[in-house]
């Protein structure tokens, strides 16, 4: 435990900086509303809604005149979750991605978010919030020349159970594809649950010994396996006066440390980190049918979009 606390406390503190916010709340809110309220639950039990979500993402990207690529694969397990009429048919799902600044010879940075939801939830925070951030960042980067390395922006399918931390998880399939292509990767940034803020906050042990119980921040999290990349991200990230960031590098055995798409990349020895509002450590709406668009704080979500936009330019 002493070793763990020592590594935890030597994590680089995130610096503050006045950042000019170039993103608009209304645009992010529109995406969240469409995905969570108009489309709603989107997973293997609702194939049409899962496809509508994919189509919404692809159409938005195509309207930016970007080359939109997909990685399609057929699932073999858990087909009992499908509607009865579709269980004996091939069921194909897809990851969606665009690569910006592809001509650069530097190692790629992968930034991704899953677009599916848990069962019986509209998934506003989990994970329409992150998809919306990604869409608006891509829109901004598509019209700028500020990237120094190739960036793969990826929308992953099937992050949620029953595929969570299996080889049929969308991010696992994508990381496997990168390895098969021998793509050089600087690291991966996962976005998962970014828009819920609260007066209450819980922590796993031993963090609960040192942190106050107010959920007014976004967390940067990594396992110890990705500490070098985590340190690089921490050193290049600036929090703003409007939004605090807390950073944690922790053992993977602590619940939540590997609970998103960054887990998949570590299975292929790619370093990866997670930005999150801490999900079930904060939100009573996590994986519930109350995860609605009107429970999110769009001012802070928009501010985080700006923080991440500035980070990606310098990594």
Pairing of strands 244-250, 151-156: unpaired
Distance CA 115, CA 258 (A): 18
Angle at 203 between CA 249 and CA 231, to 5 degrees: 15
- Specify the CATH superfamily of domain 2-314: Zn peptidases (3.40.630.10)
pLDDT of 1 > 70? The answer is no
Distance CA 271, CA 235 (A): 16
Q: Where are the domains of the chain?
A: 2-314
Calculate what percentage of the chain has a pLDDT beyond 90: 86
Distance CA 115, CA 123 (A): 9
pLDDT of 312 > 50? The answer is yes
The string of DSSP codes covering 252-303 is TTSTTTT-STHHHHHTTT--EEEEE--GGGT-TTTTSTT--GGGS-HHHHHH
Residue pLDDT, tens place only, 288-302:
999 999 999 999 999
Sign of CA dihedral 225, 240, 127, 290: positive
Residue pLDDT, tens place only, 104-122:
999 999 999 999 999 999 9
Residue pLDDT, tens place only, 57-107:
999 999 999 999 999 999 999 999 999 989 998 999 999 999 999 999 999
Single out the residue of 220, 217, 178, 241 nearest to residue 311, CA to CA.
220
Single out the residue of 273, 285, 262, 265 nearest to residue 219, CA to CA.
273
The neighbouring-strand residues paired with 92 are: 74
Distance CA 26, CA 18 (A): 22
Angle at 176 between CA 105 and CA 95, to 5 degrees: 90
Mean pLDDT (whole number) for 168-186: 98
Query: Residue 202, SS3?
Result: coil
14 pLDDT band, cuts 50/70/90, is confident
Least-confidence region, from 91-95, 141-145, 269-273: 141-145
15 pLDDT band, cuts 50/70/90, is confident
């Amino acid at each position: 435990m002493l070793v763990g606390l020592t590594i935890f406390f030597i994590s680089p503190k995130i610096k503050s900086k006045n950042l000019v916010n170039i993103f608009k709340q209304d645009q992010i809110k529109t995406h969240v509303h469409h995905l969570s309220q108009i489309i709603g639950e989107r997973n293997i039990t609702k194939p049409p809604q899962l496809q509508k979500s994919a189509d919404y993402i692809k159409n938005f990207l195509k309207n930016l005149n970007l080359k939109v690529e997909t990685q399609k694969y057929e699932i073999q397990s858990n087909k009992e979750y499908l509607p009865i009429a579709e269980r004996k048919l091939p069921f194909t799902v897809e990851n969606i991605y665009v690569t910006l600044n592809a001509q650069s010879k530097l190692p790629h940075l992968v930034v991704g978010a899953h677009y599916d939801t848990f069962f019986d939830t509209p998934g506003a925070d989990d994970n329409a919030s992150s998809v919306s951030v990604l869409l608006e960042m891509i829109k901004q980067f598509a019209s700028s020349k500020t990237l120094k390395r190739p960036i793969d922006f990826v929308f992953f399918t099937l992050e949620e159970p029953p595929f969570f931390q299996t080889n049929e998880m969308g991010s696992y399939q994508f990381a496997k594809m990168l390895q098969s292509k021998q793509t050089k990767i600087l690291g991966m940034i996962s976005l998962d649950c970014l828009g819920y803020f609260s007066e209450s906050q819980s922590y796993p042990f031993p963090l609960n010994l040192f942190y106050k119980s107010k959920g007014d921040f976004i967390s940067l999290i990594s396992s110890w396996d990705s500490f070098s990349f985590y340190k690089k991200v921490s050193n290049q990230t600036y929090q703003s006066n409007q939004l605090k960031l807390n950073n944690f590098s922790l053992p993977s055995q602590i619940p939540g440390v590997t609970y998103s798409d960054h887990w998949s990349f570590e299975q292929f020895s790619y370093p990866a980190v997670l930005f999150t509002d801490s999900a079930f450590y904060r939100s009573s709406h996590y994986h519930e049918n109350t995860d609605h668009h009107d429970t999110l704080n769009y001012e802070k979500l928009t501010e985080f979009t700006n923080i991440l936009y500035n980070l990606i330019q310098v990594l």
